[in-house]
Structure formats: C-alpha cells, structure tokens
C-alpha cells in the first residue's frame, strides 16, 4: 500500500471514529416520511367507531391529524422518554427478556404497553390524546429493525458506512435513506403499500415484544450489515422488500391497537 492509500485509509478510519463518538444512542425511526406513511395507512384500516373517537380526540388540538401527530414523540423527546423509542438485544439472542432488555418498562415494548392501557382507559381526553400520539410513533418505531437491534452498536448508530458518497451510519440509513433513495421515492412507496394494504389485515395477537423480536431477527440476517461498510445500489434493492413489509406490518398493527383501544368496551 503506497503512502497516499495509507493516508486515505487512516483518514477514513478517523472520520468513522469521530462520527461514532458523536452519534446519538437512538434516532428518529423511519424519519418523518416513514412515520406519516404508517399513520396514513393505519387510518384506512380503522373501524367506523374508532374513526369517530379518533377524530374527537384529534380535534382537541388545532389542525392535528393522525399523520401530523406521528412525529410528535420525536419533537417532544426528553432524557426520560428517549429510551421509550427502542429496545436493545444482545447479539446472541433475539428473545425478549423484560428484566434484561426493558428494566422498569423503560423501552419501546414497555412504552407501547403503557400507552395502550392509557388510551383504552377512562383517563381524561388530554391524557388519552397524549397516549395516542405516543402510540402512533412507538408502534412504527419498533418495526424499524434497528430500533430492536444490538446493544453493543447502539442499534446501528455506531456502525459507520459510506452510502452514495456520504458518510453516515446504518441506523440513519434505515431511518430515511432507504425511503428517500427509492426510485419512486416516498410517494411511490405510499402508493405501493396502499395497494398491498387492501389485502387481508394482520391477524396476529397484539404483542409488542413479538414485534421487537421480529425486528431483531431481521438485524441478524447475513445481508443486513454491509460487510465492507460501503453501500452501493444493491443494498437498497435487496432490503426493499423488508422495508415495505415492516412499514405495512406497522400500519396494520397500529390500526389493530387503535381499533381495540379507542372505543370503550
């Protein structure tokens, strides 16, 4: 290796280390587009009764919609609520262990369970609306694979990559890059998922821990982490089916949660 190549190699390593040191412990899963897509699709699967109650609660805030509410939890993130957006697993197991992975319920699984109870309770309208805004966001979060990734790389936040000439990390790429780099962009993705949503709804029980385990198993796949830390056009292509299936599952499951919780039993 000549001097120039050695210099380039050392410079890239230094940049990766610097980026890793500055990387946040969690990012905004799916970004604005992904969260809004999940919310918009979920609203299409609500029952008539659930839609009435949804609109009543949303009317408490001017011009609030399910889609605009979907990013509220990121805009109002604090040191207390930050752990509610993700759950981390050890590399050798995707089996959810509450004591190990979510002590005190301080993870996305525990947050979904708590907010679901509040939304379905006799709490005040203000409390139920706040729970609704959290739920819209967290159900989408847990379906972003790296929001249920490995504890040692902070859900891919410290796994640095070069993607189309830019330095970033794998978590950020899954948040926004995969959607933005699609040939048809976010709008094309919306249309594709809306067409698929017309099929059968999701029939599995409402179990946030299982959703997290699904995401973790995706992260475990051999092709999930780019082996060279460089991402070419083939990575978005090979992961596109997973991207679509996770967004679709999130929207169907969110609809199921809302249908079950919005209407008093």
The answer to whether 114 and 105 are in contact (CB under 8 A) is yes
In this prediction, what percent of the chain has a pLDDT beyond 90? 77
Domain count, the chain: 1
Q: What is the pLDDT of residue 233?
A: 87
Per-residue confidence at 45, pLDDT binned at 50, 70, 90? very high
Domain region containing 34:
3-261
Dist CA 146 CA 224 (whole Å)? 10
The answer to whether 241 and 24 are in contact (CB under 8 A) is no
> Is the pLDDT assigned to residue 54 strictly greater than 50?
yes
Q: Which of 41-50, 193-202, 242-251 has the lowest mean pLDDT?
A: 193-202
List residues bridging with 3 in a β-sheet: none
Q: What is the pLDDT of residue 164?
A: 86
Per-residue confidence at 28, pLDDT binned at 50, 70, 90? low
Dist CA 142 CA 165 (whole Å)? 29
The answer to whether 145 and 223 are in contact (CB under 8 A) is no
pLDDT digits (tens, 9 = 90+) for 190-234: 999 999 988 655 555 679 999 999 999 999 999 999 989 988 889
Residue 224 maps to which CATH number? 1.10.575.10
Q: What is the pLDDT of residue 202?
A: 52
> Is the pLDDT assigned to residue 244 strictly greater than 50?
yes
What is the phi/psi pair of residue 246, to 5°? -70, -40
CB atoms within 10 A of CB 82: 13
pLDDT digits (tens, 9 = 90+) for 107-120: 999 999 999 999 99
Q: What is the pLDDT of residue 205?
A: 60
Dist CA 91 CA 219 (whole Å)? 10
List residues bridging with 167 in a β-sheet: 162
- Torsion, Cα 104 27 154 113, to 10 degrees, reads 30
Mean pLDDT of 61-65: 95
Per-residue confidence at 165, pLDDT binned at 50, 70, 90? confident
């Amino acid at each position: 290796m000549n001097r120039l190549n050695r210099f380039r190699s050392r410079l890239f390593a230094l940049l990766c280390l610097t980026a890793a040191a500055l990387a946040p412990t969690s990012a905004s899963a799916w970004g604005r587009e992904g969260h809004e897509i999940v919310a918009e699709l979920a609203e299409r699967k609500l029952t008539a009764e659930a839609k009435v109650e949804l609109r009543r609660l949303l009317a408490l805030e001017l011009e609030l919609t399910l889609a605009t509410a979907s990013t509220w939890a990121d805009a109002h993130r604090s040191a207390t609520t930050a752990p509610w957006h993700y759950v981390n697993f050890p590399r050798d197991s995707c089996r959810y262990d509450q004591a190990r992975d979510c002590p005190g319920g301080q993870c996305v699984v525990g947050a979904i369970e708590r907010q679901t109870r509040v939304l379905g309770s006799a709490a005040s309208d203000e409390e139920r609306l706040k729970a609704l805004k959290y739920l819209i966001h967290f159900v989408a979060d847990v379906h972003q694979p790296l929001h249920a990734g490995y504890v040692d790389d902070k859900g891919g936040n410290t796994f640095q990559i070069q993607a189309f000439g830019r330095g970033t990390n794998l978590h950020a790429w899954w948040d926004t890059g995969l959607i933005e780099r699609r040939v048809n962009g976010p709008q094309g993705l919306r249309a594709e998922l809306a067409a698929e949503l017309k099929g059968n709804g999701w029939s599995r029980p409402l179990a946030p821990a299982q959703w997290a385990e699904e995401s973790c198993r995706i992260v475990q796949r051999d092709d999930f982490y780019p082996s060279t830390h460089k991402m070419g056009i083939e990575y978005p292509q090979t992961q596109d089916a997973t991207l679509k299936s996770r967004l679709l599952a999130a929207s169907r499951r969110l609809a199921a949660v809302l249908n079950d919780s919005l209407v008093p039993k």
